[in-house]
Amino acid sequence: MVNRPRSLSRAAWGIPQAALAACVMLFAARAHAHIHLETPTSRPNMEAFQKDDPPCGGLTRSNSPTIAVRGTTLSMEWNETIDHPGWYRISWSTTGDEGLLNGVVADEADIPDDQINGTFTYDLALPDITCDTCVVQLVQVMTDPAKLPDPTTPSGFQEYHACADIRLVNPGEQVDDPPADTAGADTAAAGCHSSEANGDGGVLILMVTFLLARRTTGAFNRRSLALLVTI
């Protein structure tokens, strides 16, 4: 009689089931993100909700907005992680998310998508007022024929969006450090960190996660393989 080795449990691997699920969700979101707003810092978890509930994916305002001086220029920078023909639109609001629809400051003629997975910049002139509820929105408008039109968006095309919260202060004003955003802290604590290399690190971690799942359950079915390939 041959004794077959027993499969190691998740506990033996030191990876809780909840952490595995969190890693899958985090890196799937990174892989599907189309734009990554570097400056100003976007809302926490924004990349997972770029296609949901415009204007800002249904996410609440950040506890740590970018601080800028009124009447100056904010240099925006973002990376296109999945290429599409089209253009970018930037909107500004002093009254929170609801003011973004009528606050377009740059559109098709100003920021054409003329690069392939490149870095884009735009100098945004800030109003000469103080503001605690300002928001800037970056939108990627996708015009490739393979994508169906979307009559619900301002452009009529499919769009991805990212929002960043801004606080405008007076010159020389002393600003206290805001409380840190805690969204996603549990995922980071579990040892799951996102890669900045256009999602490549996320795909690698997903492969490891599925292999661990196979080692612990003895199964790697077609459904799991299909999910891995689509990501």
Q: Pick 169 or 148 by higher pLDDT.
A: 169
The Cα 99–Cα 94 span in angstroms is 7
Q: Which of 228, 222, 190 is nearest to 208 (CA)?
A: 228
pLDDT of amino acid 164:
96
- Topology of domain 11-174+191-230 in CATH is Immunoglobulin-like (2.60.40)
Q: Alpha helices, DSSP H only, in the chain? A: 10-13, 17-32, 185-189, 200-217, 222-230
Mean pLDDT for all residues in the chain: 73
80-84, 108-112, 185-189: least confidently modelled range? 185-189
Length of the chain equals 231
Residue 126, SS3? coil
DSSP string, 68-79: EETTSEEEEEEE
Concatenate the DSSP letters of all residues of 149-180 into one string. P-TTSSSSSEEEEEEEEEEEE-TT---PPPPP
Do residues 108 and 141 lie in contact, with contact meaning Cβ atoms separated by under 8 Å? yes
More reliable by pLDDT, 134 or 225: 134
Phi-psi category of 184—alpha, beta or left, where left has phi over 0 and alpha has psi -120 to 50? left
User: What is this structure's pTM?
Assistant: 0.64
Rg of the Cα trace of the chain?
21
Between strands 66-69 and 158-169, the pairing is parallel
Q: How far is CA 139 from the centre of its chain?
A: 12
Give pLDDT tens digits for 6-15.
444 444 444 4
Task: Say what the pLDDT of residue 1 is.
Answer: 53
pLDDT tens digits, one per residue of 29-38:
444 557 889 9
Vertex 161: Cα angle to 159 and 163 (nearest 5): 165
Q: Are 199 and 81 in contact (CB under 8 A)?
A: yes
Please write the tens of the pLDDT for every residue from 23-73: 444 444 444 557 889 999 999 888 877 787 889 989 999 999 999 999 999
- Residue 104 burial (10 A CB sphere; 0-12, 13-18, 19+): middle
- When pLDDT is cut at 50, 70 and 90, the band that residue 85 belongs to is confident
> What residues does each domain of the chain span?
11-174+191-230
How is residue 43 annotated by DSSP? P
Alpha-carbon span 163 to 40, nearest angstrom:
9
